[in-house]
Every structure is written in C-alpha cells, then in structure tokens.
Structure 1
Amino acid sequence: MKHKNNILNRPGKKPILWDAFYESTNTQKPLVIFCHGYKGFKDWGAWDLVAEAFSKAGFLFVKFNFSHNGGTIEQSIDFPDLEAFAQNSYSKELEDLDNLITFLLSAKNPFYAEIDPLNLTLIGHSRGGGIAIIKASEDDRITKVITWAAVCDFGKRTATSGELEQWQKDGVKYVLNGRTKQQMPHYFQFYEDFKANENRLNIENATKNLHIPQLIIHAKEDPSVSYSEAEHLHFWNSDSILFPIEKSDHVFGASHPWHETHLPMPLQDVVQKSIEFINQ
C-alpha cells in the first residue's frame, strides 16, 4: 500500500505533505517516521524505494516534507517556494515533526488502525538526524531513534563571525544549490531563532539525555558531514550503536533522480541494519 501526498492541514500554519507505505495486514505495525535533511525532500532520489523496503519488512513507514523546505503542495519536488525556504528554522522543523506525530497517533489518521502507537522510531538523514535526536530526547512517545549521516552540531553550521555581520546587515544570505543551480535564501531570522533556542537545539545535550535505543549510521568517507560527527554522537551516548559504512558517501550511493529499481548496495546495508535494530 502506497499513499502519497497526503495533506496535514494546520490552522494558521503551512500544511505538511506526507506519504505512508505499508502492507495491509490484521496486525498493528511499528511506525517509522523519516526526516529529510537540508535542501532535502520526501521524494528525493531513492527514498521511495527505502519506504517500500521498510513496508515489506512489516513497518508503516512515513516520510514527509518539512513545511518550509521550499516545496509546495502542488510541486513537492525541488524548491518552487524559496520564500518559504528563507523563512525556515530548526524550531519550525521540530514543530512540524511534533504536529505530524500527534496526528499520526490520533484517530484522525486514516491509517491509525495499522499502527502500534507504542512502537515509534524516528529516522533522520543529515540535518534531519539532528532534528530527530532533539525530538527523541524530549518526547516519550518515541521509542527508538536512528540517524543516517547526521550532523552533531547546529551551532557551527549557522554562521561564522565575519559572515554573521554581513548576514545581519543584508538581512539575507544565499547558498547555491549545485544540482538545481538555485540561489537558496536564508533570512537572518534563522540565526535569531537558533540563538533564542540555543539550549534546546544543542544536539550534544540532547544525545546525552536520550533514554531510548540509538543507532548511528555514517559513511566513513562522507564528503558532506564528517564521520567524526558520528563518533561524537557515539561518544556522548555510550549506549548507542555506531555502524560505519565503508566506501560510500553522504547519501549512501543514491542520487537524484534515481531511475534504478533497486537500492544501491550501501543504502541497502543502511536499510537492513536499521530494520534489524528496530526489530531487536
């Protein structure tokens, strides 16, 4: 069963677009929610194949677009709404995730009968990994957390001192998207929100406060987020499991678009290890 582009409407807020993948049975299934990363979206590359693999393994797998990721309800792939992208923040992403969890665990969810509400795993890729860890540390509805190529520090990614002064002066800075060639805007409010919520957005503290099983998966040769960040996460939670992926990259061999009918081998390993971890 593949239900794509469901809409979670929220009064006064941008809607959230989400997908559900599962195999219909008479039993409740563990719920897995996948959080995409920076400049990411739910339909990127091989994420549909990932969702299918989890559904075949007996899970109800949900992936979604953060409300300010730059996509729209009508065009969920890539970034037609750069104004929304500019207005994004870590706090908005945490609120999105909270709203989605609350909806999925309620009778308003059309697939609620398929879900075991006491078995909820968050998976986060890259920046989404940091979001997943923070959310897992503060929400007792979450029973396990898995990160794929996650960042370990939001602070060092927010701005350097010289850049910060120029950013504040201009009110906006731009980051080139190498694939789409778009200049992606970030309003200075992103930094202001981070500073206002700096304690909550501290991934180190969140990791140390985890009281649920944690799996950390990272490619040793990741060119985008250093493997050392996975080692930091593992050091901060000695009960966590660190699973290195040899000879791969930040997206475990996948790309966008992905036209193959199977996952690249590194991503197969990531999915298989994640499924085993949830089933333990």
Structure 2
Amino acid sequence: MSNQVIAVERFSIDLGGSHFIHGEVKAVEDGIAKPVLVLSHGFKGHKDWGFWPEVSRRFAEQGYYTVTYNFSRINARSEGQDERVVAAVSTVSREVRDIEAVAAGIRKGELPLANEADSKRVALLGHSRSGGSSIIYAAEHAEVGAVVVWNGGSTPIRPTSEPGAELSPQEQAILADIDSNGERFNIVERFKALSIPVLFVQGDADNERLLAQNKRLQEAASEQHFISIAGGNHTFGAVDPYEGTTRELDEAFAETNRFLNTVY
C-alpha cells in the first residue's frame, strides 16, 4: 500500500437546463503534471459505487490525475426530476456529451488541482455501457490518447418489452437514440477505426452477450490489447456496498496499470 498523501477535491459542472455533473478529482499534490485518467461508471452504477473510490485512489497513487464523476442522469434522478427529463439524459448520446463536458473542463483547466493535470495526456476508462461510450468519444476526439474498457464495449442494446406492455419513458428515449445513431453507435466499426491503443479487460464469467462481443472485437482488431480475467463476473466480484477488493479486481487493476504505463 502506498504511503503517498492523495488530495481529493470535488467539482460540479453546470450543463444548463437544471442538469449537472458532480465529480471528484484525486491526485498526489506535488506540482508535477500527471497523465489524466477519466473513470466512467456503468449504466446501473455511480461514481461511488462499489470499487470506484478505491480504484480511483489506486490510480492516483500510481501517478495519475484521476477523475470520477456521475453522469448527468444520476443527479437528475436524485433531485426527483420528471421521469421524462431523466429519460432524456439516460441515452448513449447524452453519456458521450457528459464525457465531453468533463474533458472540456480538464482541457480548460477548470477542474480542481488543475496544475497537477497534463491535459495533453488523457486516457478514458469505462465500465459496462460507458466502455462503448468511451470508444465513441475517442473516435470523435483526437485528444484521447488511450482507452480502457472493463467488461463492456457492446453496441447499445435495443430495449424490448413483454407482449402487451409498453416501454418505459427511459427505454423509449434509449431506443429512439439508437435508431437515430446506427452508424455512430456501431462499436466494432468505431473501434476498428481507432489508431490509439485500446485495452479490453473482460471477465470470462460475464454475460454471454458481452463475451460474444469481445470475440467480435478481437476479430476486428487483433492488434489491439485484450485481457481475460479468469472467474471475473461483470463487476470482477466486487459488490456495493463495498466489501473490499477481490482477486479478479486486483488483476483487472494491475493489467490496466501495466497497459497505461506503456502509453504514458
């Protein structure tokens, strides 16, 4: 365990329309500009879910300016905003826009501890759905230097309902977003076009859909980096409330840190 003192500071980004991103920066405060690592939680998670506080601290100890944040849908939901308002900010398109807002804050030096960040060295790490969103963002923004996907990278799932049942407002919004962005959301093609290094860390006990997608991704760009975590489920064995690390999570962290060290 490192004995380094990690500075922790919170931030908020006003997106307008009563939408906010709330986040947190962790870094060793020594005046040395560090590579930036933006950590994005999964669709059912949040920045303080399970392993994120520990994982972000560990990366900070390894010399990264780490940024964790809640996608804007989390704040909209916690404030009790109208169901259709929450639905509108629950799409993949909005997720990519939220990543852009965080990246813009880094680029402009508007986040806390800005003198500790080297905004020209930015990597993204996304879990589950945000892994795909991170691929999309990187494909559209040249400043990203590397991407790591933990148990994700799937093309967005089309919501379906039981016979006679209607889709929820959130499901309707997600479906409309997918239908309007077929080419943009084709993760395999977006991934193939990337010239930057990408690492997929995939638990071999995750769901079959993600395992099949991971195989397709390997076939599409075998020169990229793929790690299989034996026995790893969708959260590498971690739970919320957090009960501590697991072998699978430790392995995912170690492989990710090793990969990022080759980039930065």
TM-score normalized with structure 1 length: 0.84
Q: Is the 8 A contact 1:152 1:233 kept in 2?
A: no
SS at match of 2:144: coil
Give the C-alpha shift of residue 118 in structure 1: 1.7
Once the two structures are superposed, residues 48-86 of structure 1 have per-residue CA deviations (whole angstroms, 9 ceiling, x without a partner) of 000111000000111111101x3459x5xxx96572542
- Residues 237-274 of structure 1: per-residue CA shift (max 9 Å, x gap): 222111000012110010000143xx212111111111
Aligned equivalent of 2:159: 159
Query: Following the alignment from structure 2 to structure 1, what is the Cα–Cα distance between the partners of residues 19 and 208?
Result: 29
Q: Is the 8 A contact 2:21 2:75 kept in 1?
A: no
Equivalent position to 2:250, from 265, 268, 275: 268
**Residues in 2 aligned to 1:131 and 1:187: alpha-carbon distance in whole angstroms:** 17
- Match of 1:97, SS? helix
Q: What amino acid does structure 2 have at the position aligned with 1:26?
A: G
Partner of 1:108 in structure 2?
110
Q: Equivalents in 2 of 1:108, 1:19: separation in Å? A: 13
AA in 1 matched with 2:260 = I
Q: Is the 8 A contact 2:154 2:213 kept in 1?
A: yes
2:47 and 2:68 in contact (8 A); partners too: yes
Aligned partners of 1:22 and 1:59 also within 8 Å: yes
**Structure 1: gaps of 5 or more residues:** 174-184
Paired with 2:231 and 2:81, the residues of 1 have a C-alpha distance of 35
**Counterpart position of 1:244:** 228
Q: Letter of the aligned partner of 1:54 in structure 2?
A: F
- In 1, the alpha carbon distance for the partners of 2:218 and 2:81 equals 36
Query: What are the residue-to-residue correspondences of 1:42-191 with 2, within 5 Å?
Result: 42-68=47-73, 70-71=74-75, 83=83, 84-87=85-88, 88-154=90-156, 157-160=157-160, 163=161, 170=166, 172-173=167-168, 186-191=170-175
CA contact under 8 A between 1:137 and 1:209: conserved in structure 2?
A: yes
Counterpart selection for 2:35 from 12, 15, 30: 30
Moved over 4 A (4+): 79-82, 164-167
Q: Structure 1 vs Structure 2: percent identity of aligned residues? A: 25
Pairwise CA RMSD of aligned residues?
2.3
Residue number in structure 2 paired with 1:40: 45
User: Which secondary structure does the structure 2 equivalent of 1:188 belong to?
Assistant: helix
Match of 2:215 among 219, 222, 231: 231
Distance 2:82 2:55 in 1: 27
- Could you say which residue in structure 2 is the equivalent of 1:212? 196
* Alpha carbons of structure 1 residues 6 and 109: separation in structure 2 relative to 1, 3 Å: closer
Give the Å deviation of 1:109: 2.4
How far is the alpha carbon of 1:20 from its aligned partner? 0.8
Deviations 1:111-163 (A, max 9, x none): 22111122111001010111011111111010000100014221xx2134xx3
Greater Cα offset, 45-54 or 1-10: 1-10
- In 1: Cα distance, 2:241 partner to 2:224 partner: 33
Do the aligned partners of 1:85 and 1:186 also contact (CA within 8 Å) in 2? yes
For residues 150-207 of structure 1, give each alpha carbon's deviation from its aligned partner in whole angstroms, at most 9, with x where no partner exists.
Answer: 14221xx2134xx39967xx4x42xxxxxxxxxxx62523211221122111111111
Shift of 1:5: 4.1
2:19 match: 14
